[in-house]
Structure 1
Amino acid sequence: MSEWIGVEQACERLGVKQATLYAYVSRGVLTRRKTDGRSVFDAAEIEALARRGRPRRRAGTTDLVIESAITMLGEDRHYYRGRDAIELAATWRLEDVAAWLWTGEAEPGERAPFAARPEGLAAARDAQRGLPAGVLPLERLHVIVAAMAAADPVRLNFEPAAVQRTGTAILGGMVDALPDPGARKPRRPLVPELHVRLWRKLAGDGADDRLEDVLRFAMVLLADHELASSTLAARVAASVRADPYAVVTAGLGVVSGALHGGASLGVEALLAEIDEPHRAAHAIGERLRRGERISGFGHAVYKGGDARGEALLDRLRRTMPGNPRLAVADALLREAAHHSLPPMNVDFALGLLTHLAGMPRGAGEAIFGIARTAGWLAHAIEEYTSPTRLRLRASYTGPFRGAEVDTVGT
């Protein structure tokens, strides 16, 4: 009969942190089960892995491990410098969590508003004048960040304090340079909080202002998630001394992917298609018959469920009790379970938030990109300070014709 040991014993035997232990579980390297609410591991399996010295990879996967003190992934949630991100989201703002990720010292409190330099904000607004109608908010963010970079003569200062100052300008400009809703809403005084300014840019006519705080909650949850694909791209950019604007641009380029931050776009489309709960079965069934992936379900790390999504969905339920659109969301969740889809993730809850708030198409991925900018810059600061010299190598499998060559890359 197998002996089962706790997390602390498993970590001690393997000489790894809890985040690494759970990463082994997500990759199929280790088996985990729960007993009385605790995670336990097969002692023999742990011993065998310890003797091998490093975990086996599943076919078709590549492990890249970088030491970082920013974010740890647990079995269903993440931790910012050791603090539960879901707990922080209860009261913190994006500005608070950005400062915490960047320094590991800042606590919530009064701080100067995150705002772009006037010349950068003007350049970002001017650069959007020629964009066609219907451009998605995330696509505007690409233009905004590039324009602000061109207007910043000191962007190549890589000292941590300088990157933090640049970070506040980038985040402020990403929000403030988005188009003003104009005549649809009365002009109101400028406010320091980023989530309030973003709400005023994105919320639809008649949106319930109680959702403004749910937007704050979501932005804190999304601020970082260890080495997600967009963060890896941002970190690679920083490793070659690209400036902070280029780091953010690299992250934005990846975040639009349908399997990453762009997943909320699919959720928005799904919700917009269903006018009554009974239509959920048809919508899910048609997509599955076409062989389409259902956005908002499943996660590469949180196989048993994404606590971020559950927390955001619970926040929406408590804020908008009885809203008929929540009944549609519940019908979708039931239908997904009926088809044995994986548990819903944070992208589902984010898409539901933008849907309830009447935000424009693509608002979810823009919220994701703005919030995640805080994390990208935290990783950039870490990379500028302690370079990891990221250089992946390919295992060449193509044809070869000719004389021997030196295959060492640069």
Structure 2
Amino acid sequence: MRTDYLAAQDAANRLGVSLATLYAYVSRGRVDSRPGPDGRTREYSASDIEQLIERRQAGRGAAQGAAHSLAWGLPVMETRISLIRSHGHYYRGESAIALAKGGATLEETARLLWDCGEHDPFVAGLPDHWPKAVALLLQQSNVPPLERTTAALPLLALDATHAHSTDPLHRRHDAALLLRETAALLCAAPPSTQPIHRVMVTSWRTGELGLSELVRCALVLCADHELNASSFATRVAASTGASLHATVCAGLATLSGPHHGGAAARAHAFIQDMLRERKPIDRVRERLRRGEALPGFGHPLYPEGDPRAMVLLDAMRATRPRPAKLSAIERLIETVQTQCGRRPNLDLALAAIASGYELSADIALAIFAAGRMAGWLAHALEQQESGSLIRPRASYVGRMPQRDG
């Protein structure tokens, strides 16, 4: 697989320069290039790109370079959990797309992310009922999934057996229990040892053939995506010695923002609005003229299209939940791509699944959160085992204090 070379736009985006500047670097011998797989385009050395970035950051000074790296910039932490490439992402060196297409469950993916080896933390049983306080919370039908789960986790933490154990097996056992419990909380289901994708689909009572397999695939693709905002928040909490319950609460809180997990809800609303239009192309053009966003399209790390979305939309076509609605969603995707060149991302794909099966935006977010929970736990485990505290320094740019005297 060609992972050591990048497409032109991807390379330019990494460097933060125009294509013309990229080509100038090539002509000066600073970046190696070679023919692309189709024979018509060229690819550019990823290692040469990284060396250019490092030299440029070093020239800016360590403090300024660190500040820039926090916004889609250079890596700021080491991890063995996941890797992002323009053609897809990897879990401990294994293709997430291959896992999803190959039938892996979220539980199997979690074992890989948590570096369990031959140990299976999911063999342990579960309580057959929720604690009373959690059961009362689940009776509140007006509480959305994310808020319900965030409220319930501190209550479950009260009974956690190994909340602050340093034993790796104890930690992974608690992670497995927590993953199953949070998935059940997200869909207001009882605790279960059934595969998580089946638990979720059964709770929605759709009776739709093919949805269970589609949700399984989505959960695996959502499981981790390197150092995104919620995973970073989880690691910060874990670095303080907080319990796994507390660390994933940090992840859930961060996910709730409109620029992270809330993006799926915005994509869902966009799809619903467009499906009601007789001529969606006119509304898309109007949004573009006004400079408004098109929720669910484009991704800074995937300039040539989010491969996670491509896999899920292909899988959705295979299930064909509502042929007319699916065709309308596909026409919308084609319209946006034709008008502005943007391609669907993971948020759009999750929203399309919910729309295609006539499910709510909350369910799109529940799928995302249940899958990403496996990644948050992986980051929490890795950070706990490192034993280091995450405490960056700030570069003060405000008013300077007056000198005494």
Tell me if both proteins adopt one fold, taking TM over 0.5 as the criterion: yes
Measured in 1, the distance between the counterparts of 2:121 and 2:393 equals: 46
1:173 to 2:173 alignment = no
In structure 2, the partner of 1:378 is: 378
Match of residue 162 from structure 1: 170
Task: Give % identity.
Answer: 30
Which consecutive residues of structure 1, in runs of 5 or more, have no partner in the other structure? 1-5, 11-17, 183-188, 405-410
Give the equivalent residue in structure 1 for 2:27.
none
Which residue matches 2:345? Answer: 345
Assess if the C-alpha contact under 8 Å between 1:95 and 1:114 holds in 2. Answer: no
Secondary structure of residue in 2 paired with 1:300: coil
Letter in structure 2 aligned against 1:98: A
**Deviation of the 1:123 alpha carbon:** 3.5
In the alignment, structure 1 residue 89 sits paired with structure 2 residue 122? no
- Aligned partners of 1:73, 1:272: CA distance in 2, in Å? 31
Matching residue of 1:218: 218
- TM-score, normalization: structure 2? 0.81
Instruction: Give distance in 1, aligned partners of 2:104 and 2:3.
Output: 29
SS of 1:39's equivalent in the other structure is: strand
Check if 1:28 corresponds to 2:16. yes
CA distance change for structure 1 residues 53 and 271 in 2, over 3 Å: closer, same or farther?
closer
Matches within 5 A, 1:263-282: 263-275=263-275, 278-282=278-282
1:276, CA displacement in angstroms? 5.9
Corresponding pairs, count? 376
2: CA distance, partners of 1:150 / 1:127 = 16
Greater helix content: 2
Q: Report how far residue 142 of structure 1 moved.
A: 0.9
Are residues 1:100 and 2:112 paired?
Answer: yes
Which stretch of the first structure deviates more once superposed, 279-288 or 214-223? 279-288
Structure 1 position 196 matched with structure 2 position 198: yes
Go from structure 1 to structure 2 and tell me whether the alpha carbon gap of 1:98 and 1:27 turns closer, same or farther (over 3 Å shift).
farther
Q: State the Cα RMSD in Å.
A: 3.5
**What secondary structure, in the 3-state scheme, does the structure 1 residue paired with 2:173 have?**
helix
Long gaps (5+) in structure 2: 23-30
- Which amino acid in structure 2 is aligned with residue 387 of structure 1? G
Q: 1:78 — aligned with what?
A: 89
Which shifted more, 46-55 or 118-127? 46-55
Indicate the residue corresponding to 1:249 in structure 2: 249
Q: Residues 390 and 243 (structure 1 numbering): CA distance in 2 closer, same or farther, change over 3 Å?
A: same
Once the two structures are superposed, residues 80-119 of structure 1 have per-residue CA deviations (whole angstroms, 9 ceiling, x without a partner) of 0000000001210000000111115259x9952774x457
Once the two structures are superposed, what CA deviation does each residue of 1:139-189 show, in whole Å capped at 9, x if it has no partner?
21211222212332532224321221111221221233356589xxxxxx9
After superposition, the Cα gap between the structure-2 partners of 1:209 and 1:66, relative to the gap in structure 1 and judged at 3 Å, is same
**Per-residue deviation, residues 232-286 of structure 1 (Å, max 9, x unmatched):** 0001111111110111000011112222222111121122224467442244345
Distance 1:368 1:27 in 2: 30
Q: Extract structure 1 runs of 4+ deviating beyond 6 A.
A: 42-47
CA 1:313–1:82 in structure 2 vs 1: closer, same or farther (change >3 Å)? same
For residues 251 and 238 of structure 1, the distance between their equivalents in structure 2, rounded to whole angstroms, comes to 11
Which deviates more, 281-290 or 155-164? 281-290
Equivalent in the alignment of 2:76:
65
> CA distance change for structure 1 residues 244 and 331 in 2, over 3 Å: closer, same or farther?
same
Q: Which amino acid in 2 is paired with 1:126? A: L
| Deviation (angstroms), 1:398 | 1.7
Give distance in 2, aligned partners of 1:372 and 1:209: 25
Contact preservation (8 Å) 1:298, 1:344: yes
**SS of equivalent to 2:219:** helix
Give the superposition deviation at 1:349. 0.7
Query: Which one of the candidate residues 148, 152, 159 is aligned to 1:140?
Result: 148
Contact 2:230–2:255, Cα closer than 8 Å, also in 1: yes
Deviations 1:54-101 (A, max 9, x none): 587699653452111110111131000000000001210000000111
**Stretch moving more, 266-275 or 80-89:** 266-275
- Check the 8 A contact 1:123/1:148 in 2, yes or no: no
* C-alpha displacement of 1:305: 1.1
